[in-house]
Structure 1
Amino acid sequence: MMTMIIKFCFFAMALLSITPANAQTEVLFGYRGKNGPNQWGHLNPHFSQCAVGKLQSPIDIQRRDTFYNQKLESLHRNYHPTNATLVNHVCNVAMSFGKGAGDVVIDNKNYTLQHMHWHTPSEHHLHGVQYAAELHMVHKAEDGSFAVVATLFQIGTEEPFLSQMKEKLVKLKEERFKGNHAAQVEVGEINTRHIEHETRKYFRYVGSLTTPPCSENVTWTILGKVKSMSKEQIELLRSPLDISYQHNSRPCQPLNGRRVEMFHELPTE
């Protein structure tokens, strides 16, 4: 059963995150043991970037490696109400969106919102600190390139969007205990504008997908404001997952000389 679960995890992420050619590859990966992150690059030739890539994610964003870039602009996100489905991807909990979810504009290029998923604890570290959770909003351009907008969460008050999803997450958990490890729960139309938080600060760098095949040249935007999420919400995000995936964070990767750029809009008086 565990073998089947890990295989499904790869296929689910493949369909959302990588090219059709790679989506045909059936290989196991996990977060610990012989299939853990340190072994990803050796599980299959398609995963070689996980081991030899020089632009890998996540990273620890340190002040000494961060450069203020005056040419960066505020983050332009334009999301719209759309149908959504909550999905147990086995290796994480995700929400997929229908057409018309909206987009983000980066360097005059449009990336359409595809799905979002959560990692607990966070994959990216900020100044050496790992947070309780991280949300990845995955966008894709017409040329097939990806842009991910990430939000870090610390333990605190409830996160409003997840509060709306509480009953759906409980249902996803119930489906797992019924033996349905790849459950989907229809959410209906949601207003993704609730996720469109304004930010006066973000970090930008070029990295990779954080799951196999670890494809590179992904544009990452890490929001500078750390949000809050309750302990109960953390547990809800973990509860549909097998215990071996409840801590689903890839370790930080070497920066290898990359520049991490920072946008910081000072408040106007």
Structure 2
Amino acid sequence: MSIFMRLAMATPSSSSFCFIILAFALLHVPAFAFTTEELEEVPFSYAGQMGPANWGKLHPQFQECVVGKSQSPVDIITNKTELNPNLKPLSRNYRPGKSTLVNNGFNVGVRFDEDVGVLLVDGKNYSLKQMHWHSPSEHRIDGLQYPAELHLVHRTDDGNIAVVGILYQYVMLIPSSPRYIHLKNKLDELAKDVCASNEQSQVSLGTMDTKLIRRNTRRYYRYMGSLTTPPCSEKVAWHILGKIRDISKDQVAALKAPLNSDLQGQLTPSPASQWPTHSAL
């Protein structure tokens, strides 16, 4: 599966500009836990005085970034994971829906503007809310970092969060398609504006068909971690797929083109052996 999802070709015209993030307009996950404008407007970075080492000082609600005991991302050491025969295959029942491409400055993602289906975890439905990309990957497996990582972010009605992480490796060439060209044009449109971490630019994508990512998945690693950006809230159920997908260097470049260079960076993953990591085969 290519990192670029299948898109319907009929999309309305749209324009891109940066604006201060408002309540309920966020693509990024912290809006699920904290919806006050105060938190949403706190800028951060991956280097310097607003970098990860100082995230806990940027706002009182960001303390878990410093004192949290189950912080993500992690380096999954496969021979230290516990095979759990009780873990069922990840069941993802997605359907097409209206979507918006969003540039947060530090990553690019897709916000779903209507119900696009659910992830079933332990008998509970988690609604797919958004997906976003990181490059290079935040999680590692046996110390190996990958060129890109896709996060599919889900939420229950009572606020619990589950994320499916998909890692990508480089391949020499992935054939272009009309859908890829369409998304590439939208990414180029986003790249016209450089946003701070408390700003967004966005363009409409029209209807996205997510059926290419709704397949059941048997092999994955599961652990309880956190959001990987402020406020670093914990009790996030992570599911890192064991199958590595393919991506081209051109696709990674397209995903990174709209980003603010001052906000690009990466976190040092914690050893997953610090807390239980279960694997399903």
TM bracket, shorter-chain basis: 0.7 to 0.9
Of residues 223, 237, 247, the one that matches 2:255 is 237
**Greater mean alpha carbon deviation, residues 179-188 or residues 212-221:** 179-188
Give the structure-1-normalised TM-score. Answer: 0.86
2:114 partner SS: coil
Q: Does 1:252 align with 2:269?
A: yes
Structure 1 regions of 5+ residues with no counterpart?
A: 265-269
Query: Residues 193-248 of structure 1: CA distance to partner in whole angstroms, max 9, x if unpaired?
Result: 1122443310000000000000000000000001110000000000011112344x
Q: Does 1:70 align with 2:67?
A: no
Q: Which residue of 2 aligns with 1:267?
A: none
Of residues 111, 115, 137, the one that matches 1:96 is 111
Count, aligned residues: 259
Give the structure-2-normalised TM-score. Answer: 0.83
The 2-side partners of 1:34 and 1:9 are apart by 24
Q: Does 1:200 align with 2:214?
A: no
**Greater mean alpha carbon deviation, residues 34-43 or residues 118-127:** 34-43
The 2-side partners of 1:90 and 1:162 are apart by 27
**Greater mean alpha carbon deviation, residues 60-69 or residues 227-236:** 60-69
Alignment of 1:10-21 (within 5 A): 12=26, 17-21=31-35
Q: Which has the higher relative contact order, 1 or 2, with Cα contacts under 8 A spaced 6 or more apart?
A: 2
Structure 2 regions of 5+ residues with no counterpart?
A: 1-17
Q: Does 1:24 align with 2:38?
A: yes
Report the alpha carbon displacement of residue 157 of structure 1 after superposing the two structures with TM: 5.2
CA RMSD of aligned residues (A): 2.7
Of residues 181, 189, 195, the one that matches 1:174 is 189
Report the alpha carbon displacement of residue 73 of structure 1 after superposing the two structures with TM: 0.4
- Whether the 8 Å CA contact 1:55–1:256 is kept in 2: the answer is no
Alignment of 1:1-269 (within 5 A): 12=26, 17-21=31-35, 23-25=37-39, 26-156=41-171, 164-177=179-192, 182-247=200-265, 249-255=266-272, 257-264=274-281
Letter in 2 for 1:137: L
- Identity over aligned residues, as a percent? 40
Q: Judging by fraction of residues, say which structure has more helix.
A: 1
Structure 1 residues 21 and 167: alpha-carbon distance in aligned structure 2, compared to 1, 3 A threshold: closer
